[in-house]
Amino acid sequence: MKILVAVKRVIDYNVKVRVKPDQSDVDLANVKMALNPFCEIAVEEAVRLKEAGTADEVVVVSIGPKAVQEQLRTALALGADRAIQVETDDMPDSLSVAKILKGVVEKEGPDMVILGKQSIDSDNNQTGQMLGALTGMPQGTFASKVEVGDGFINVTREVDGGLQTVKLNLPAIVTTDLRLNEPRYASLPNIMKAKRKPLETISTDDLGVEVKRSVKLLKVETPAERSAGVKVADVDELVEKLKNEAKVL
């Protein structure tokens, strides 16, 4: 089967973001960028399915300016076969991203699309589900286990009360949770090899999708700071303070 994996370039998860002084957005100038951690898990899962002989081709796609090619090369170094960059300078919202991905799905005809459950910048948790609705595909969101059957997959999902398993007819969409797998590191030879793997650039016009944004960002603020409190010497003092000062016991 053919697997399409969507990946996003985001601020590195270890970076503490700063809000711009004019409160227009967070400051991404000169900040370390990386592959969104959930997308990395998506790539790893696709590559494992290929190594298991279940998948025969893994195609990665990312949407954005030329800089996203860096993350596509990372995905190729992790084992994807070829990459597609959908060039756009705009910041498409989740719905536009889902429409663009629908265009790529129609072009590529994958049996499975794997995405991360959310990107750690916008924290939306929307794109996979929207792509499901637009393509009519079933979805296995927040996946911690994927088992491939004949014409279907069983997906174990992380839900609030525990775990739930659903059976989805292929083609289907999977969004990854953190416990699906542990992504590998790209070795130097694989990074070198990834430079020669095919990377195609297409435009949103090629796909006939208009990028829009119907939710306007009015302001970005730093959340109310919590200040450090006091250190207590022992358990007695802690219990005393919780009872008498904080009055939470």
Binding to another protein, residues 9-28 (CB under 8 A): 11, 13-14, 16-17, 19, 26
For another protein, the closer of residues 15 and 192 by Cβ is 15
CA distance 220 to 208: 32
Considering only residues 127-156, where is the footprint of another protein by CB under 8 A? Answer: 127-134, 136-142, 144, 154
Residue that has been written with the tokens 């991360």 in this structure: 116
Question: Measured from the CB of residue 240, what is the shortest distance to another protein in angstroms?
Answer: 10
Distance, CA of 148 to CA of 22 (rounded, Å): 50
Q: Count Cβ atoms within 10 A of the Cβ of residue 224 and give its class: 0-12 exposed, 13-18 middle, 19 or more buried.
A: exposed
**Placement of tokens 């998948």 in the chain:** 55
Q: Count interface residues toward another protein (CB under 8 A).
A: 81
Residue 187 contacts residue 175 (beta carbons within 8 Å): no
Helix axes 94-108, 127-135, angle to 10 degrees: 50
Shortest approach of another protein to residue 106 CB, angstroms?
16
Restricting to residues 224-243, name those near another protein by CB under 8 A.
226, 228-232, 234-236, 238-239, 241-242
User: Residue 32, interface with another protein (CB under 8 A)?
Assistant: no
The one among 31, 67, 159, 192 contacting another protein by CB under 8 A: 159
**Residue 33 or residue 178: which is nearer to another protein going by CB?**
178
Judged by CB under 8 A, the chain residues 33 through 92 that form the site for another protein are none
Residue 118 binds another protein (CB under 8 A): yes
Within 13 Å and on the Cβ side, how many CA atoms surround 153? 28
